[in-house]
């Protein structure tokens, strides 16, 4: 029976095209970014198929030769998915079949597109986290260098955006350096989820082929397997959510740094400046030096911080098994890496050219920053703390307060003891946890 809304001139081809456009979305373009990972997965999978007798040994060499040719094309940036290919997986198989005939049709045994895309995303994620780690290390080094260089230059510290206590550029730069250490700790935790092999889980329920999943795990340099095949599929979405949460931590650090820089560049603060080439002007106000780079870093990083909640909402009511909903997080997930890396790199460029104003706290308006120093001085001389607090408070009220000529902070992490060596050691220890070198050497062997 015809449906009430059905028209006699129903064009099934047009409907099919609309459905494909809606369901495929931007997957072809996104899959281009996964192409290298897909080829690596096929290299490992076919080597395993040959080892367990599901692919004739004599067929392995021509398949691998052609896969490596495809990989070289991708590396040169000359790769694009054929318009008739549904995705990267079918495109690779199409290219092999076009070159090798029936040999190309043998590579999909024991796989589903479900575990292929899972694998691709995990390999891609490992590569991208390495890029994040490198960019973070560069920014960390710049921050620590600036902290050492400007350790004796004081600036106001604020609470509630009100004058609080003396701070220093050494403290300010060093704080963000140490923040990046913790950010990379959470990134390492996310990395461990990406560094488990889902290949062989198929559509989520395994299969009857005698696959050697531990072999593909070793060939691709994974630390371990996602053993349970149902959980391997459940891990899709969970991994992405965990990784973007780690990215959001870095983004939060950069957004706060960017906000500080925007404030400190403001003429009412005037603590820092940048060369004209790194700021923008106004079409009608010739004096303007706008911190557009930092404003965009702030905005991009705030957007990145929304992703964990967005992913949570999309994933929250899904049962086990694969669902097309997961496609929706794919685009934001893949692009989140390039966004955070560009923000790290631009932050590094800006800070590498920062100019620091000297003798900021010599201005009379900052003298009340030193009231705590005065209270502490009285306490050191034997006065009870509460009496010292009241004494200095009365001096402020009557206008008789005079700031001390020197301040002397010695405890760990204070103005006079910035613990640069300890912070640098923490970052070295954190970065050493990532097995990038081992993974890269394993991938090189696979491509050899």
Q: What is the pLDDT of residue 15?
A: 66
> Closest Cα to residue 403, out of 433, 432, 373, 383?
373
Do 388 and 268 sit in the same domain of this protein? no
Do 317 and 437 sit in the same domain of this protein? yes
Residue 277: partners with Cβ closer than 8 Å, 6 or more residues away: none
Do 348 and 385 sit in the same domain of this protein? no
Do 72 and 120 sit in the same domain of this protein? no
Residue 97: inside a domain? yes
Residue 29: inside a domain? yes
Do 121 and 71 sit in the same domain of this protein? no
Q: What is the pLDDT of residue 3?
A: 46
Report the run of H or E that residue 90 belongs to, with start and end: helix 88-100
Angle, CA of 212, 218 and 220, to the nearest 5°: 105
The string of DSSP letters for 164-192 reads EEEEEHHHHHHHHHHHHHHHHHHHHHHHH
Residue 6: inside a domain? no
- Tabulate helix, strand, coil % of the chain (nearest 5): 65, 5, 30
Residue 420: inside a domain? no
Residue 208: inside a domain? yes
Start-to-end CA distance of the chain, whole Å, equals: 61
Counting as low any pLDDT under 70, the low residues of the chain are 1-11, 15-17, 19-21, 23-26, 28, 282
Domain that holds residue 263: 113-145+170-362+427-447
Residue 261: inside a domain? yes
**Helix 436-447 to helix 35-51 angle, to the nearest 10 degrees?**
70
d(C-alpha 91, C-alpha 85), whole Å? 5
In tens, the pLDDT along 211-237 reads: 999 999 999 999 999 999 999 999 999
Q: What is the pLDDT of residue 4?
A: 42
Are residues 77 and 117 in contact, defined by beta-carbon separation less than 8 angstroms? Answer: no
> Closest Cα to residue 256, out of 304, 226, 298, 214?
298
Residue 59's CB is within 10 A of a number of other CB atoms, namely 18
- Write the CATH number for 45: 1.10.275.10
d(C-alpha 332, C-alpha 272), whole Å? 35
Do 80 and 129 sit in the same domain of this protein? no
Do 220 and 257 sit in the same domain of this protein? yes
Do 125 and 67 sit in the same domain of this protein? no
Residue 207: partners with Cβ closer than 8 Å, 6 or more residues away: 110
Give exposure, 145-182, as e/b (b: 16+ Cβ within 10 Å). Answer: ebbeebbebbbbeeeeeebebbbbbbbbbbbbbbbbbe
- CA distances to 61, 172, 194, 256, 423 from 148, rounded to whole Å, are 56, 11, 36, 21, 12
In tens, the pLDDT along 27-81 reads: 767 888 999 999 999 999 999 999 999 999 999 999 999 999 999 999 999 898 8
Number of domains in the chain: 3
Q: In the beta sheet, which residues pair with residue 197?
A: 225
Do 81 and 184 sit in the same domain of this protein? no
Burial of residue 430 (number of CB atoms within 10 Å: 0-12, 13-18, 19+) = buried
Do 47 and 125 sit in the same domain of this protein? no
- Write the CATH number for 290: 1.20.200.10
Do 331 and 380 sit in the same domain of this protein? no
Residue 292: inside a domain? yes
> Closest Cα to residue 244, out of 178, 196, 314, 294?
314
Do 394 and 254 sit in the same domain of this protein? no
Tell me the pairing of strands 224-225 and 196-197: parallel
Residue 72's CB is within 10 A of a number of other CB atoms, namely 13
Residue 216: inside a domain? yes
Residue 51's CB is within 10 A of a number of other CB atoms, namely 16
Q: Where are the beta strands (DSSP E) in 115-213?
A: 154-159, 162-168, 196-197
């Amino acid at each position: 029976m015809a449906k009430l809304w059905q028209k006699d001139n129903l064009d099934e081809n047009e409907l099919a095209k609309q459905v494909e456009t809606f369901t495929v979305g931007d997957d072809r373009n996104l899959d281009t970014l996964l192409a290298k990972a897909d080829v690596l997965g096929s290299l490992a999978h076919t080597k395993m198929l040959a080892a367990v007798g599901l692919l004739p040994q004599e067929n392995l060499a021509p398949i691998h030769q052609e896969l490596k040719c495809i990989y070289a094309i991708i590396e040169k940036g000359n790769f694009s998915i054929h318009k008739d290919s549904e995705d990267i997986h079918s495109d690779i198989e199409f290219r092999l079949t076009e070159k090798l005939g029936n040999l190309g049709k043998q590579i999909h045994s024991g796989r589903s597109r479900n575990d292929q895309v899972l694998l691709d995303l995990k390999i891609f994620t490992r590569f991208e986290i390495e890029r994040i780690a490198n960019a973070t290390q560069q920014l960390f080094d710049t921050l620590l260098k600036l902290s050492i260089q400007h350790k004796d230059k004081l600036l106001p510290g604020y609470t509630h955006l009100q004058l609080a206590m003396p701070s220093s550029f050494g403290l300010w730069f060093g704080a963000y350096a140490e923040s990046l250490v913790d950010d990379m700790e959470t990134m390492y935790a996310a990395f461990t989820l990406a560094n488990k092999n889902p290949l062989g889980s198929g559509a989520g329920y395994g299969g009857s082929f005698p696959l050697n999943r531990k072999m593909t795990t070793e060939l691709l340099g994974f630390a371990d397997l996602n053993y349970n095949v149902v959980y391997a599929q459940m891990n899709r979405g969970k991994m992405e959510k965990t990784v973007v949460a780690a990215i959001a931590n870095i983004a939060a650090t950069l957004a706060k740094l960017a906000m500080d820089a925007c404030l400190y560049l403001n003429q009412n603060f005037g603590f820092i400046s940048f060369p004209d080439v790194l700021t923008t002007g106004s079409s009608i106000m010739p004096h303007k030096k706008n911190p557009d780079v930092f404003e965009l870093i702030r905005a991009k990083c705030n957007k990145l911080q929304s992703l964990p909640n967005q992913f949570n909402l999309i994933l929250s009511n899904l049962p086990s098994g694969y669902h097309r909903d997961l496609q929706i997080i794919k685009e934001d997930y893949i692009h989140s890496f390039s966004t955070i890396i560009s923000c790290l790199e631009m932050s590094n460029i800006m800070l590498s050219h920062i100019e620091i104003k000297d003798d900021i706290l010599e201005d009379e308006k900052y003298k009340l920053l030193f009231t705590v120093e005065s209270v502490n001085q009285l306490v050191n001389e034997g006065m009870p703390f509460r009496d010292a607090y009241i004494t200095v408070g009365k001096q402020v009220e009557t206008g008789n307060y005079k700031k001390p000529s020197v301040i002397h902070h010695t405890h760990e992490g204070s103005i006079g003891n910035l613990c640069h060596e300890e912070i640098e050691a923490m970052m070295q220890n954190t970065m050493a946890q990532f097995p990038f070198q081992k993974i890269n050497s394993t991938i090189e062997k696979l491509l050899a």
